[in-house]
Amino acid sequence: MLPVRYLHVTSTLPVCYLYITAALPPRYLYVTCMLPLRYLHITCTLPVHYLYVTCTLPPRYLYVTCTLPVCYLYVTSTLPVRNLYVTAALPVRYLHVTAVLPVRYLGITCTLPPRYLYVTCTLPLRYLYVTCMLPLRYLHITCTLPVHYLYVTCTLPLRYLYVTCTLPRHYLYVTSTLPRHYLYVTLRYLYVTSAFPVRYLYVTSALPVSYPTLPLRYLYVTCTLPVRYLYVTAVLPVCYLYVTSTLPVRNLYVTAALPVRYRRVTCTLPDYLQNFWPELRAAHELHASVCQALQEKEGEVRERQYAEHLPPEVLEAGIKSGRYVQGTLNVSKHRAQTEASIMTEGFSNKSTDSWCVLVHGDKHRNRAVHGDVVAVELLPKSEWRGKVTALSEGQGAEPSGEDGERKPLPTGRVVGVLQRNWRDFVVTFPPRDGTQPQSRNSQRILAVPWDHRIPKIRISTQQADALQDHRVVVRIDSWESSSLYPNGHSVRVLGRSGELETEVQTILVENCIHAPPFSDAQLRELPVNSPENPWTVDPAQVAQRRDLRESHLVFSIDPQGCEDVDDTLSVRHLAGGTLLELGVHIADVTHFVSEGSLSDLEARSRATTYYLADRRYDMLPAVLSADLCSLLGGVDRYAMSVMWELDARTLAVSRVWYGRTVVRSSYQLHYELAQALLDGDEAAVPELVRLGSEEQEAKRAELVQALETLTHVSRHLRAQRDRGGALELEGLEVRAQLDEEKNITALVPRQPLEVHETVAECMIYANHWVARKIQETFPHQALLRHHPPPRQEFFLQLVDSARARGFTIDTRTNKALADSLDRAADPQDPLVNRLLRMMTTQAMSEALYCSTGAQSLDQFYHYGLALDRYTHFTSPIRRYADVVVHRLLAAAMATKRGVASGKALAGNKGLEETAQHINKKNRAAKRAQKLSTELFQCLYFKERDPQTDRRCVADAVIYSIRDDGVLAFVPEYGVKGPVHLKNREGLVVSVGPDGGCEWQSGSVRRQPDRISTTSGGGTCTFRLFDHVTVRLSVLSSHCHADRLHLELVSDRPLRSAGDQPLPPPSSQGRSQLVQEVVRLAEEAQERAARRPKLSREEREFSQSKTPNLYSLLEEVRELALTDPDMIPQVCASTA
C-alpha cells in the first residue's frame, strides 16, 4: 500500500499465473522471466516511474494496466507474444513496445493520449490493434516484415500518424472518428508509407452531421510498389488527397458518403466528383492525373524513352561493392538541360575531383530530378567530359586549342533513384498557341516550373485558360520510362505572376518554408503581457537566479529598429582593480519554451527565423520574440549568462561562471550610436535625454568607459584568434532601415564599424566557452558547430586571380591564408582585396551543426574562426540550435551541482537528427533570403528605362573570365552577373576610341587572366579586376523569376566614361531603390484589397501583410559570389 522504491520479480521457470499489484507507485518496476508466463497481470493504481517488462520466452497472455500515467513504459520480448495487451487509463509519457519475433495479437489501448507511442516489430505481427480514446501526439508504427492485419483507431484526432512498413501488409486499416462536441479539425496530417505493396489499404475518416465543413486537411498515401486494392473513404470532402505510387495501383476505389441527413451514396469516383463536388478542383485534377498514369502504364507498349531503374536490392549491392556511386543530383542552374553532377565522398582516393561525378544530358539523368538521391554508374574514361565555362548555353561547350584542354571529370549515368525529392513545385502554364482544342474535359498541359532545374510537368487540368498568368503549386505523381516528362497534378494557386505577394510566396514554396500564423493552442501555452495583466518576474525564480539588476551596467548593441534583442553585455572592474569582469547575457528562451511543448515543436520545425528583404517569419511567437524573451531596455528579463573574471593587465581568464540570471538593460543602443559614443561625438542617448545635465554627463561618461573597456577586451580576443589563423571574410551585408511605424525607409549596405567587431568578438567568445562546457560535460551528445577545412581545389580561382594581380595566396593552413590575404591589398583599388576575400568565402566549406557523438575530436575544429570548439548560444530567439544548447548548458550546470536536470537529454542519434534538420532549414533560409534580395533588385530596375535613366548605369569590376564573356560585380547595388562579349548571333563587342561599345563580326580569345575580342574596330582586352561601365536592365520571364541583365557600355570606369563624377557611396542609391520597391508593393496591396478575398487554401502559406520589417541577417556572407552550381553552398560566417 506504500510505494516500493525498487521492485524486482524474477522467475527462471514458467509461472502459470503472475499478479503484481501496487496501490502506490514503485519507483522502478522490473518483471523478468526466463521461461514463458501463462498469464501475466501487472496493475498499478498510481504512476510507475519506470516500468520494464521483459521476457526471453513468450508469455501466453500479457496484461499491463495502469490507471495513472507511466513515465516510461518498455515492453520487450525476444520471442513472440501470443497475446499482448497494454492498457493505461491516463497518458503514458513514452510507450515503447518492441518484439524481435512476431506477436500474434498486439492490443494497445490508452484512454488519454500517450505523448509518444512507438510500436516496432522486426518480424510480422499477425494482428496489431492500436486504440486511443484521446489524441496521440505522435504515433510511429514500424514493421520490417509484413503485418497481417493492422488496425489503428483513434476517437480524437492524431496530430501526426506515421505508419511505415518495408514489406507488404495484408490488410491495413486506419480509422479516426470525431464526436460532436470536438471543435478542431480531424487528422491534421496522415502519412501512410510502404516500401513494398500493400494488399489492401483502407483509410477511413468520419465526421458527425453537426460539423459539415471540417475536412481531412491533408491525406498522403504513398507506395513505391503497386497497391493491389486501395480504398479511401470519407464522409466529408478531403481538402487535399495525394495517392502516389511509382508503380500502378491495380484497383483504386475512392468512396465518399454525404452526411447522415442524406442517404449514403456510393458511386464511381468520376461520377461522384462531377455530381457532388464539381468545385473541388484539386480532387478532379488528381483523379485525371491518376487515370493518365494508368492509361500510360496499361496502354499499348510504347518505345521507352529512358532505361528502367534497377531494383533497390541491386542498387544497394552495387553501392556496397563500389560499382555504383551514391550521391545527390545537383542540376546546373544555367545549363539545366545538359549538365548535372553528383555530390559524393568519392569512389577513388587518388582523384582530387572524386567528389564530383558529371551526368551529361537527359538520357543519362534517367528521370532523376534535382535533389534526388541517386545511384550512378561511371562511364568509360573515353566518355568523360569537362564542365562548360561559357556564359551562354551552347557556346564554349568544347574548348578551343588556344584555351587549353579542360581536365575531364568522372562522368556517369543514373541507374536508379534511392530517394525522391518530389516536393511542391511552382509552375506556370505556357501561353496558348491556338492549336490546343477547347473542351470541358481535362487538358493535358506541359507546365513550366519556376525553377529552371526541374523538368516540365504534364498536368491534366480544366483551368489552363483561367490560370494562364498565375503561379500554381503542383506535385509530381509518376514518371514512367515511356514518357519524356513526369505526370503531376495541381494543388493550389498562389496568385497572379509578377505581383510582389505571389513572388514572395513562390520563394517560400520553392524552398519548402512553411510558416503559417501560430495556432491558438500554441499561444495559450505562453504567458500574457498586456496593460490589464502585465507580466512580471516571479520572486521564486529570482531567488534561484543571480540578480544583476542593481550591481551591473547591462546594455545591448543591435541594428537600428531591432526588437528581438537576444544578447546584452556588461563589463566592470572588480574590487582592487586587478580583475576585470566581462559578461554576456542571453535571453532565457528555455524558461518559456518547455521541451516537447507545442511552441517547442513548432520552433523545431521552423528551426530558424526566416528573414526576407521586406518581412520576416518568426521562429517564436511575437509575445516571446519581441517582448518577454527580448532583453529590451528598462525592463526586467530572465537571462542565461556567461561571466569571466579576467586579469586586468593580460586579460587572461582566471574564472568563468555559467548560470541563470535576472537582468535589466540600462541602454538599448544601435551600432551607429555606440560608434559615435566611442568616437567622442555628441550623440544623443535616448535613455539620458530626460536627466539633468550633471547626472546625464556622469552616466554618459560611465557608458562611454564601459564601451571603451569592451572595445579593448574585444581587440585582445580578436588578436588571439588572428594568431591562431582566424579568417576575415567578405560578403554582401545589407540591412533594412525602419521608421517608427516599421515602414522601410532605406536598404543600405552595412558600413564597417569597429563596434560591429566588438560585439561579434564577445558573442564568439561566449559561444566558444559554452561549447567547451557542454562538450566536456556531455562528450557524446553535445551540439557543436564545426567548420571543416576547405578542399584545396576550391582555391584555384582565388589563387589564379590573385596571381594575375601580382599577389601570392598560400592556402596550406588558415593562418597562412589569412596572412596572404592581408598582404594582397592594392592601395589604388580597395575592391581588389574585397573581391579576393569574397572568392575566399566562396571556396569555404559549409559550417554545420553536429552531435559530438557523430564526429571525431579533430572534426570539432572551426576552420574560419580558428577555434577548437564552437557552438551557437547567443541567439535563441531566432535559432533553434541555440535553444538546444541552452538546455544542454542548463543540464551541465545541474550536473555540476549534483542536481537532476529534469527531462532526459536527447541521445547522440536524436541530437544528430536534430542537427541535420537544422542544417537543412538553414540552407533553405539562406536561399530564400538571397532570392528575396534579387527579387527586390529586379523590382527596382523593372520600372526604369535603362536607356535614359542614369541610375541604370553603374561601375562594375571584373572578377572572373569565361569563354565568351566575364563575370562582373556592381558594388553600388550589390549585384553580380555575366557580361557577354559574344552574343548568340556570333557577334562580338567592339570598343570605339571613346570607349563606347557596339556589336560587330569578330572573334574571342580567352586566356587565364584576360579575354580579348578582335573585330574590324581592332582588339580590346579585358583583364581581371578591370573597372568597366555596365547598364542594368531586367529580363522578364513569363514562367521563371525575372533576372538582372548587365550590358557592357564602356571598357572604362564610370568616372572616366561619362562627364559626371561617380555618385556618393551606395546608400543613396539603395534608399531610392527600396523606396521605389515599397511604393510598388503598396500599389500591389491596394490592388489585392480590391480583389475578392483568398480562400483558406490560397492563404495557407501567408502571414500577416502588415509591414513588420526587421534587419536582414548580418551574417549571410555568401550572397555576393557563391555559385551553388560550381561548389556546394558555403557559409564561413559563424553568427
Sequence ranges of the domains in the chain: 13-134, 312-419, 754-901+910-937, 945-1090
Separation CA 1011–CA 988 (nearest Å): 12
Report which of residues 378 and 898 the model is more confident about: 378
User: In this structure, how many other beta carbons lie within 10 angstroms of the beta carbon of residue 725?
Assistant: 17
Task: Assess whether pLDDT exceeds 90 at residue 212.
Answer: no
Topology of domain 945-1090, per CATH? OB fold (Dihydrolipoamide Acetyltransferase, E2P) (2.40.50)
| Strands 116-121 and 138-143, sheet pairing | parallel
Q: List the grid coordinates of 7.
A: 521492485
Check if the beta carbon of residue 1017 is closer than 8 Å to that of residue 1000.
Answer: yes
Q: Which three cell numbers stand for residue 1016?
A: 574590324
Q: Which range is least confidently modeled, 375-379, 868-872, 1124-1128?
A: 1124-1128
**Dist. CA 462–CA 464, nearest whole Å:** 6
Q: What pairs with residue 556 in β-bridges?
A: 668
Contacting residues for 162 by C-beta, under 8 A, at least 6 apart: 138, 139, 140, 141, 142, 191, 193
- pLDDT per position as a tens digit, 1003-1055: 999 998 999 999 988 899 999 999 999 999 999 988 999 999 999 999 999 87
Dist. CA 914–CA 378, nearest whole Å: 34
Q: What gap in Å lies between CA 447 and CA 230, rounded to an integer?
A: 29
d(CA 1051, CA 992): 9
Asked whether the predicted pLDDT for residue 1066 surpasses 60, the reply is: no
The C-alpha atoms of residue 789 and residue 48 are separated, in whole angstroms, by 50
Percent of all residues in the chain with a pLDDT value above 70, rounded to a whole number: 63
Provide the whole-model pTM: 0.69
Residues 6+ apart with CB under 8 A from 225: 194, 195, 196, 197, 245, 246, 247
Q: What region does 1025 belong to: left with phi over 0, alpha with psi -120 to 50, or beta?
A: left
**Of the candidates 413, 425, 417, which has an alpha carbon nearest to the alpha carbon of residue 477?**
425
The yes-or-no answer to whether 312-419 and 945-1090 have a common fold is: yes
- Tell me: pLDDT of 123 over 60: no
Angle subtended by helix axes 1067-1090 and 908-942, to nearest 10 = 90
Rounded Cα gap, residues 1088 and 869, in angstroms:
51
Q: Residue 825 pLDDT > 80, yes or no?
A: yes
* Alpha carbons 811 and 801: distance in angstroms, whole number: 14
Q: Is 899 helix (H, G, I), strand (E, B) or coil?
A: coil
Task: Tell me what the mean pLDDT of segment 112-124 comes to.
Answer: 63
Which of 161-175, 525-539, 751-765 is the least confident region?
Answer: 161-175
- Please choose, from the candidates 819, 804, 810, the residue with its C-alpha nearest in 3D space to the C-alpha of residue 792: 810
CATH of 312-419, one of 3.40.47.10, 1.10.760.10, 2.40.50.690, 3.40.50.880: 2.40.50.690
Mode of pairing for the β-strands spanning 953-961 and 965-970? antiparallel
* Whole-number pLDDT of residue 272: 74
* pLDDT band at 601; cut points 50, 70, 90: very high
CA distance 191 to 173: 13
Q: Three-state SS string across 50-119, please?
A: EEEEEECCCCCEEEEEECCCCCEEEEEECCCCCEEEEEECCCCCEEEEEECCCCCEEEEEECCCCCEEEE
Q: Higher-confidence residue: 548 or 113? A: 548
Phi, psi of 885 (to 5 degrees): -65, -40
Q: In sequence order, which residues have a C-beta less than 8 Å from that of residue 1042 and are 6 or more positions away?
A: 935, 938, 942, 1034, 1035, 1036
Residue of 236, 181, 171, 239 lying closest to 205 (CA atoms): 236
Counts of helices then strands in the chain (DSSP H, E) = 20, 54
Residue type, 638: Y
Residues 1135 and 1115: their CA atoms lie apart, in Å, by 6
Give residue 346's pLDDT. 43
Q: What is the dihedral of CA 600, 601, 605, 609, to 10 degrees?
A: -20
Count of C-beta atoms within a 10 Å radius of residue 694 = 8
pLDDT in tens, 218-274: 555 555 555 555 565 655 454 455 555 444 444 555 554 433 333 333 456 777 777
